[in-house]
């Protein structure tokens, strides 16, 4: 920045600081990878190639053009069931994976791989029952995942070198940790377990310590560490030991999820589970996220067909009594019903079925609006309560957040069923319509993206 830009930025910050009296959180943005995509690779445990296709090259290039910074690969990169000659911590197509990673890097984006500090297949020949409580397995589709305890020294000794190998062997930029562990009063500790403190439902010192070790492992390599606990919950830790927290799996009501997660520490990535969640419009996804400095995870990649629930020779452990098995088989059946007029494609477990044609365009549209607001050096006043921004008090069900750098942006969200008019002290420009006004009219259940002119 030149002298004039520095002056403009400092003046903007001074004006915002004087205008805002109270807010829920103030945050200065640094390295923030706002646009994140979980990219479907294929129908594991069916064999497939990870090597990028022309389809992948075009789609990844489109994401890169819009400024996407992070591609996340889910569990199908590995061979968790040891069906294709690899295992939970190695790829069934290592050459194809390296080629895919190289393409993502060539396009200027980072790539992280799925791993888990808790989930491990109980039928794996390496599994030691001493690692996990016997009655807490996650049994779905074709897997019987033990929830290995972070208090198990044996599990740590097995796990950590393999996580290091993932980072080094595939030259990826970090890990996405699907924790696979939660503290519960029903859990009976194995005699071999050791925790650095008293384990409770609310706080697991062993989990906190293990996440700290993995975070350091990733950061020493300049990488990114993303964590998912369960639903709309953070890990049962007192320290924030991750870069990004994915929330939303299994959540049906986005209003409740917003209220539960809106003031979590940055950075939160809502991964709305559209296999269950109900929305009125596609733009609801942004209404619940953007005002709280969150941006939804995009579920995309190669089309999801559901064949993973129909692979010959696999033991689908609960049959159609399992939601996912039943759901994925119905997706495949729908695709076969009329091959000449297939439904809109879906792209992952958490996508809607059928897919939504407007999903990707609306995500890119909103990301184009969001990205300039969260550049490094931006100060965010999140959920402004008392301020001189408006001539009248802001209604409780309207959220206002300022993003201030060399430009000053304001996001207004109306969570009511009625239109709201807020008279502003200054004229603001609507970044979507181009209109400039002091009468800020927010439609019901909608967002305004505003910018101070000049």
pLDDT for 259-287, tens place per residue?
A: 999 999 999 999 999 999 989 999 999 99
- Find how far residue 225's CA is from the centre of its chain: 12
Residue 454 has pLDDT above 90, yes or no: no
- Find how far residue 19's CA is from the centre of its chain: 33
Residue 182 has pLDDT above 80, yes or no: no
Q: b vs e for 57-89, b when ≥16 Cβ sit within 10 Å of the residue's Cβ?
A: eebbeebbeebbbbbbbbbbbbbbbbbbebbbb
Least confident range from 26-30, 341-345, 399-403, 412-416: namely 341-345
What gap in Å lies between CA 299 and CA 278, rounded to an integer?
16
From residue 14, alpha-carbon distances to 190, 291, 376, 423, 446 in Å are 57, 21, 18, 22, 29
Residue 188 has pLDDT above 90, yes or no: no
State the span(s) of the chain assigned CATH 3.20.20. 36-372
- The residue-averaged pLDDT of 56-64 equals 98
- The residue-averaged pLDDT of 40-66 equals 98
Residue 2 has pLDDT above 70, yes or no: yes
pLDDT bucket at 340, cuts 50 / 70 / 90: confident
pLDDT of residue 202: 92
pLDDT of residue 278: 86
Residue 393 has pLDDT above 90, yes or no: yes
Q: How many CB atoms lie within 10 A of CB 35?
A: 26
pLDDT of residue 158: 98
Least confident range from 117-121, 130-134, 383-387: namely 130-134
Least confident range from 223-232, 282-291, 330-339, 361-370: namely 330-339
Q: Is 441 helix (H, G, I), strand (E, B) or coil?
A: strand
What average pLDDT is seen over the chain? Answer: 96
For the chain, what percent of residues have pLDDT higher than 70?
100
- The residue-averaged pLDDT of 373-397 equals 97
Q: Which CATH superfamily is domain 3-28+378-451 in?
A: Golgi alpha-mannosidase II (2.60.40.1180)
pLDDT of residue 184: 72
In the 8-state DSSP scheme, what is residue 292? G
- The residue-averaged pLDDT of 38-44 equals 98
Strand 138-140 relative to strand 244-247, pairing = unpaired
State the span(s) of the chain assigned CATH 2.60.40.1180. 3-28+378-451
Residue 310 has pLDDT above 70, yes or no: yes
Residue 153 main-chain phi, psi, to 5 deg: -60, -35
Cα dihedral 238, 240, 242, 244, rounded to 10, equals 120
pLDDT bucket at 144, cuts 50 / 70 / 90: very high
- The residue-averaged pLDDT of 11-24 equals 97
- The residue-averaged pLDDT of 330-351 equals 92
pLDDT of residue 185: 66
What gap in Å lies between CA 453 and CA 104, rounded to an integer?
36
Q: Are 111 and 172 spatial neighbours (Cβ–Cβ below 8 Å)?
A: yes
pLDDT of residue 186: 65
From residue 36, alpha-carbon distances to 80, 271, 295 in Å are 24, 10, 8
Instruction: For tokens 């706002």, name the residue.
Output: 34
Q: Are 436 and 427 spatial neighbours (Cβ–Cβ below 8 Å)?
A: yes
* Fold category of 36-372 in CATH: TIM Barrel (3.20.20)
């Amino acid at each position: 920045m030149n002298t004039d830009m520095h002056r403009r930025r400092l003046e903007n910050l001074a004006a915002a600081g004087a205008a805002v009296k109270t807010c829920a959180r103030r945050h200065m943005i640094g390295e923030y990878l706002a646009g994140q995509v979980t990219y479907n690779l294929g129908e594991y445990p069916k064999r497939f190639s990870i090597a990028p296709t022309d389809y992948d090259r075009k789609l990844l290039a489109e994401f890169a053009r819009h400024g996407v910074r992070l591609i996340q690969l889910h569990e199908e990169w590995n061979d968790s069931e040891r069906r294709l000659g690899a295992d939970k911590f190695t790829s069934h197509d290592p050459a194809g994976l390296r080629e895919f990673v190289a393409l993502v890097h060539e396009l200027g984006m980072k790539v992280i791989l799925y791993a888990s500090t808790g989930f491990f297949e109980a039928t794996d020949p390496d599994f030691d029952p001493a690692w996990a409580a016997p009655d807490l397995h996650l049994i779905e589709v074709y897997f019987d995942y033990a929830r290995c305890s972070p208090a198990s020294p044996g599990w740590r000794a097995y796990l950590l070198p393999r996580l290091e190998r993932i980072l080094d062997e595939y030259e990826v930029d970090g890990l996405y940790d699907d924790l696979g562990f939660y503290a519960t009063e029903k859990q009976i500790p194995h005699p071999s377990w050791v925790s650095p403190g008293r384990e409770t439902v609310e706080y697991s010192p062993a989990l906190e310590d293990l996440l700290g070790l993995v975070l350091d492992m990733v950061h020493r390599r300049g990488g990114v560490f993303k964590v998912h606990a369960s639903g709309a919950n953070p890990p049962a830790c007192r320290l924030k030991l991750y870069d990004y927290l994915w929330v939303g799996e299994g959540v049906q009501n986005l209003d409740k999820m917003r209220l539960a997660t809106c003031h979590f520490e940055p950075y939160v990535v809502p991964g709305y589970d559209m296999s269950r969640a109900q929305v009125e419009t596609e733009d609801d996804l942004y209404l619940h996220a953007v005002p709280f400095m969150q941006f939804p995870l995009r579920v995309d990649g190669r089309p999801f067909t559901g064949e993973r629930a129909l692979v010959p020779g696999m033991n689908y452990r609960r049959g159609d009594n399992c939601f996912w098995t039943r759901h994925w088989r119905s997706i495949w059946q729908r695709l076969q019903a009329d091959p000449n007029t297939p439904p809109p494609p879906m792209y992952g477990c958490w996508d809607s079925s059928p897919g939504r044609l407007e999903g990707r365009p609306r995500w890119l549209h909103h990301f184009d609006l969001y990205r300039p607001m969260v550049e490094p050096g931006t100060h965010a006043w999140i959920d402004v309560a008392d301020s001189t921004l408006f001539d009248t008090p802001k209604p409780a069900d309207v959220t206002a957040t300022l993003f201030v750098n060399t430009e000053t942006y304001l996001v207004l969200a109306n969570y009511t069923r009625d239109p709201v008019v807020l008279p502003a002290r200054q004229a603001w420009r609507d970044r979507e319509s181009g209109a400039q006004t002091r009468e800020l009219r927010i439609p019901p259940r909608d967002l305004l993206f505003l910018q101070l002119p000049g």
